[in-house]
Amino acid sequence: LFPWKTLSEQGFGLWQNDELPLVPIDFNIEQGLKIIGYDTSNLSAAIIAFKRHFIQTDVSDTVDETTKAILYSIYLKQ
């Protein structure tokens, strides 16, 4: 796996917090992805790209609660 977390610890890019925040019920996945820089014209592809970077062990286009929490954690850093 690519060491994204290690790079973020050295000041290159963002990484989610170890303790993930509670996600508001009205948090919009598509808007969150747009705000952190993903092209959401193909939402499925954007979700997969996000997961390839931040989750790596699950690169499906399924958005579960963990995926939402990781996205929200990154979103809060913007």
Residue 78 in any domain: the answer is yes
Please indicate, yes or no, if residue 9 is contained in any of the structural domains: no
Indicate the pTM of the whole model: 0.90
Q: Please answer whether residues 18 and 67 qualify as being in contact, where contact means their C-beta atoms are separated by less than 8 angstroms.
A: no
Question: Quick check: is 50 in a domain?
Answer: yes
pLDDT, tens only, 35-56: 999 999 999 999 999 999 999 9
How many domains is the chain built from?
A: 1
The parent domain of residue 56 ranges over: 25-78
Residue that the structure tokens 């009205």 belong to: 26
Residue 74 lies in a domain: yes
Position 2 scores a pLDDT of 87
Q: How far apart are the first and last CA of the chain?
A: 25
Does 45 reside within a domain?
yes
Is the residue at 6 inside a domain? no
In a domain, 19, yes or no: no
pLDDT below 50 — which residues of the chain?
Answer: none
Residue 73 lies in a domain: yes
